[in-house]
Amino acid sequence: MQRLNALRSLLILDTPPEERFDRITRFAASEFDTPVALVSLIDERRQWFKARVGLDACETSRDISFCGHAIEGSNVLVIGDARDDPRFADNPLVTGDPFIRFYAGAPLILPGGLSVGTLCLIDTEPRTFSRIDQSILCALRDVVVEELMREAATP
């Protein structure tokens, strides 16, 4: 409940796209050469995309989301090939469009320690993701969190 209250206090759910978040997802997709990059916010029933590159959907059900798993920890969740991971092998996002194989999601952890979403990368091909890659993704994630907090601090 605290996590959902923290998310709602940001007053960002269901708001229009913003260049400051779009720029980060475009850079992430380019930097890591992935077809999809997202700023995903997770409420009780869905993952909603504040910014997205390479995906037409603006949200998906939380029960099939990779990001819903990523927010459970504090480290980057890396899935090299989703077909080989029992949590995701039968997921409709893996077995059907968009045919997710690779996923890397850095939790958006607010100053109070609550995770409200992710900055994530998705590919249709299996991949590896080094410690350096994870560090870069975390640095970009920190920029997203700074932007979220800047918005929350604005009266």
**pLDDT tens sequence across 23-39:** 999 999 999 999 999 99
**pLDDT tens sequence across 65-75:** 999 999 999 99
**Structural domains for the chain:** 2-153 (3.30.450.40)
pTM attached to this predicted model: 0.94
**pLDDT reported for residue 150:** 86
pLDDT value at 19 more than 70: yes
Average pLDDT over residues 89-118: 95
Render the chain in DSSP notation, one character per residue: -HHHHHHHHTT-TTPPP-HHHHHHHHHHHHHHT-SEEEEEEE-SSEEEEEEEES---SEEEGGG-SHHHHTTSSSPEEES-GGG-TTTTT-HHHHSTT---EEEEEEEE-TTS-EEEEEEEEESS-----HHHHHHHHHHHHHHHHHHHHHHH--
